[in-house]
Amino acid sequence: MTSRLFAPIEIGGMVFDNRIAVAPMCQYSADDGSATDWHIQHWMNLALSGAGMVTVEATGVERRGRITHGCLGIYSDDNEATIGRGIAAARRVAPAGTRFGIQLAHAGRKASTQRPWEGGGPLTEHEDPWPTIAPSAIAFADKWHVPKAMDHHDIRRVTDAFVAAAKRAERAGFDFVELHGAHGYLMHEFLSPLSNKREDEYGGPLENRMRFILDIARAVRAALPARMMLGARLSASDWVEGGFVPEEAVQVARALKAEGVAYICSSSGGNSPHQKIPTGPGYQVHFAELIRREAGIATRAVGLIDDPLQAEAIIAGEKADFVALARAMLADPRWPWRAAAMLGARFHAPVQYQRSVGTMEHWGKAQAAREKSGAA
């Protein structure tokens, strides 16, 4: 059997060695937006994994667009330099052909919060909070900061910040940029009728609610060289009555494609504390499949994909073009090696670790045999 998970693919003029992606994951370990030693070890570790696509965490395009005091940013020269150094180090240990991208983000009304291990709630007055912005002056939840409704000047400033951040990402050495349009952050807040109650050309019908993300996609695409790919992550459903729905995500994906966006990572939720998400293995794959089929754009599936045979089936069944793994990659950064061993594909251990290849193949075959016999 030839593995589809390990088949190369060309998207947005860029070739990827395989379909495995490391999902963007905040580390809450930055210093005023700048990368630290933690990021360097984290990126080098993930670079060794052999995943064809590595996307760096949600990175604030302006200081107030960070989620927490520890979030990565790309709004200063120091941010750009430290991120650039980390990515250069990661590239030096990655298999040739690994593509590195950065997720550009603005946290909107979900900015100014504590790191998860500090509680994850809104910053209190003793924790140096900052004013937040959103399409409408509606707090995410009870006791959260009430954001300022953005005026046209704010919209212009944030769009310009995305462009400036994209140019910094190019200089820092990334291959692609991903716009964070998911999880209840600023672009999603504009898309969702739960958080967008505007009465101007940015609110009301979907055509207006998607104006903000389309403006940003157009401006960022124009600012990036053609060799750099642009993608986007969307929450395909708010999982709340009266919220953003998958059919709208299809229309947004179509419009983004027309602006030169090459793929959609189909996530969901994050914009309401009342969401009811039916989680389970691959619970968001059907969104990737729907958007891929209806909008004719490459998709990346994400969410509880942690088994190599499950990942292979998603790609072989043409439900998505990539699978992205988050928690499984933290738990086992050698996941792609193990998947390759199970699926009979080649994997790229660095020469220094060559003597582990036989061990990995032994583990991979044993696991595949267990899964086949139904014992796993």
Ligand X SMILES: Cc1cc2nc3c(=O)[nH]c(=O)nc-3n(C[C@H](O)[C@H](O)[C@H](O)COP(=O)(O)O)c2cc1C
Report the SS3 class of residue 235: strand
Answer for which of 180, 209, 292, 319 binds ligand X (CB under 6 A) is 180
Backbone angles phi and psi of 99, in degrees to 5: -105, 125
Of the residues 28, 185, 202, 263, only one is catalytic, namely 185
Sequence-distant (6+) residues with CB within 8 A of 100 are 47, 54, 55, 56, 87, 90, 91, 94, 173, 174, 175, 176
Instruction: Decide if residue 49 touches ligand X (CB under 6 A).
Output: no
- The binding track of 213-242 with respect to ligand X, each residue x by CB under 6 A or -, is --------------------x---------
Sequence-distant (6+) residues with CB within 8 A of 154 are 133, 148
Answer for which of 3, 18, 82, 103 binds ligand X (CB under 6 A) is 103
* Beta carbon nearer to ligand X, 101 or 203: 101
Instruction: Decide if residue 187 touches ligand X (CB under 6 A).
Output: no
185 catalytic? Reply is yes
Backbone angles phi and psi of 136, in degrees to 5: -135, 160
Answer for which of 53, 186, 288, 325 binds ligand X (CB under 6 A) is 325
Instruction: Decide if residue 23 touches ligand X (CB under 6 A).
Output: yes
What is the spatial distance between Cα 230 and Cα 293, in angstroms, rounded to a whole number? 20
Instruction: Decide if residue 285 touches ligand X (CB under 6 A).
Output: no
Answer for which of 304, 309, 313, 316 binds ligand X (CB under 6 A) is 304
Instruction: Decide if residue 139 touches ligand X (CB under 6 A).
Output: no
Per DSSP, what are the bridge partners of residue 230? 177
- The binding track of 342-361 with respect to ligand X, each residue x by CB under 6 A or -, is --------------------
State how far the alpha carbon of 336 is from the alpha carbons of 310, 326, 329, 341, 344, in Å: 13, 13, 9, 9, 12
* Beta carbon nearer to ligand X, 66 or 203: 66
Query: Which tokens sit at 171?
Result: 């200089």
Size of the site for ligand X (CB under 6 A): 20
Instruction: Decide if residue 267 touches ligand X (CB under 6 A).
Output: yes
**36 in Cβ contact with 73 (< 8 Å):** no
List active site positions. Answer: 185
Q: Which residues bind ligand X (CB under 6 A)?
A: 23-26, 57-58, 103, 180, 182-183, 233, 267, 302-305, 325-328
